[in-house]
Amino acid sequence: MGNSVTELKQGRTGRITHFTDDQIAGKLTTMGVLPGSKVQVVRTAPFSGGFYLKVDGMNIVLRAHEADNIMTTADE
């Protein structure tokens, strides 16, 4: 079924399959983060901070609890 984007290693890419929280899904979809989008973990902040992601070429930063709701399949 997939893993959370927070489980991807820095520099790895995957495809967004779905979101686990409807409220956060609403926020992300208005930002253009959609199921099927390619996502790459660019950098993570220390101490369970934020996640710097590249989604279909667009750079975004999310809190760890927000990023944890993005489910992905890892690209090989």
**Number of residues that this document lists for the chain:** 76
The reported pTM is: 0.88
Specify the number of domains making up the chain.
1
Q: What is the pLDDT of residues 26-55, one digit of tens each?
A: 999 999 999 999 999 999 988 878 999 999
Tell me the CB-side half-sphere exposure of residue 15, using CA atoms within 13 A.
7
Model confidence at 72, pLDDT cuts 50, 70, 90, reads very high
Model confidence at 74, pLDDT cuts 50, 70, 90, reads confident
Instruction: Give residue 67's region: left, alpha or beta (phi > 0; psi -120 to 50).
Output: alpha
Question: Domain with 21 in it: what CATH number?
Answer: 2.30.30.90
Host domain of residue 45: 3-74
Instruction: Give residue 3's region: left, alpha or beta (phi > 0; psi -120 to 50).
Output: beta
Reply yes or no on whether the pLDDT at 9 is more than 70. Answer: yes
Scanning the structure block, which residue is given the tokens 């959609």? 34
